[in-house]
Structure 1
């Protein structure tokens, strides 16, 4: 799990520089440091942590990190401004451990550029708050998803996938070949918030799901739209990366979400009680 520790250390370095820039009123630099960590977010959200680890293993050691030639092909981009900031930080940072963190931040940008993902990453950086939570693959059934996860190839990890209309997190550990997936309640807060704002009375109405899906092909949700199917309200969610929609029944989804929140609350209370008991025994 060393790659995760390296990523975390680099994240903390960027976060400290972001905080310092904000306190000193350097707003543009603060914004760029925020975006520095968005490259890490993109790598993790798309399940490319181990691919990035392999990329780092192939980078020849140099006194100063190289800059991907792919960055020069797209002038005046977020990535170029971020790279200029990171090179300046590398030159001004004397401590070896911090220099290692800056080097990793530089190679995050290089990795994305060298693998042809600059446009996708910058789209993610600028629009991730407006898009649906990112899922990297869709499967019709859980059996199909498990066959993919347990197959001979290394699956992307950690990453969200869709099984039917539901989000799951798929996890693979290269170190011990552990593979599993679990339900991820990532879309439910969106449904709760949007439903609380009110479902438009003019929401498009359809008799069947097939009719709704056919219409959404020509008029994609942006990225969320309410529709009515056979008298029941659904939230249509557009997954741009997968070029598809999921449809979430509002009433039953909110009921399940309330139950899930109660489960989490009970678990947190039980955990807090266990910690309190442990502290009492120590005292």
Structure 2
């Protein structure tokens, strides 16, 4: 082995080894501090890209899940209104049946029917969710459709049927009179209400399925993001401890090798 003073190759090798140990130790300590395996794109380029794409999908799916909740609340509001209307229609049918009893006061029965009809009209007009009319009125969306995004790209359209086109004149205000009460019929309105209630039930079932799917998809995507980004704290602690010991050893060896050329001085004594 040649003896040189200007270039201490052994010390340079020790220095390079110490630099590598320092870099590895610093990376492990950074991961421990941040609890993240990927702290910059350079740590894992492909993993970073996949993870960020998954995070974007999770954000979309959570928003869609929130939309599903809003859709369910909308349906629940409409269901309550239609259930009340259905109950009132049953009362009206009872009044019409009573009118076929010649001992009854037809004028009083007609007034009762008109009052019940006015209440039905009020429910139609005032049933709203977040200031949006659900059953009738100028605020009703085009074609009675309510469109909710319920997936990454999927949309669900809710339609309450023909509620906003029904004619309530025959049972509201002064529509019912003592002379026409026995000929009144609410079968068309009753059928429309029941059809809409059936639609609401079907919509809720569909939304429940979508909600369950999104819950599972969000969980799986979040788990994938965790595998990509989250640090294994036990492994990183082992690496940090190993690195700290390596730093001490490498520093000691560098110090010894740095003074190795001094042995050449004995040749000049």
Q: Same fold (TM over 0.5)?
A: no
Higher helix share: 2
> TM-score with structure 1 length normalisation?
0.19
Task: Give the number of the structure with larger relative contact order, counting CA–CA contacts within 8 Å between residues 6 or more apart.
Answer: 2
Q: Specify which structure has the higher proportion of strand.
A: 1
Structure ID, larger Rg: 2
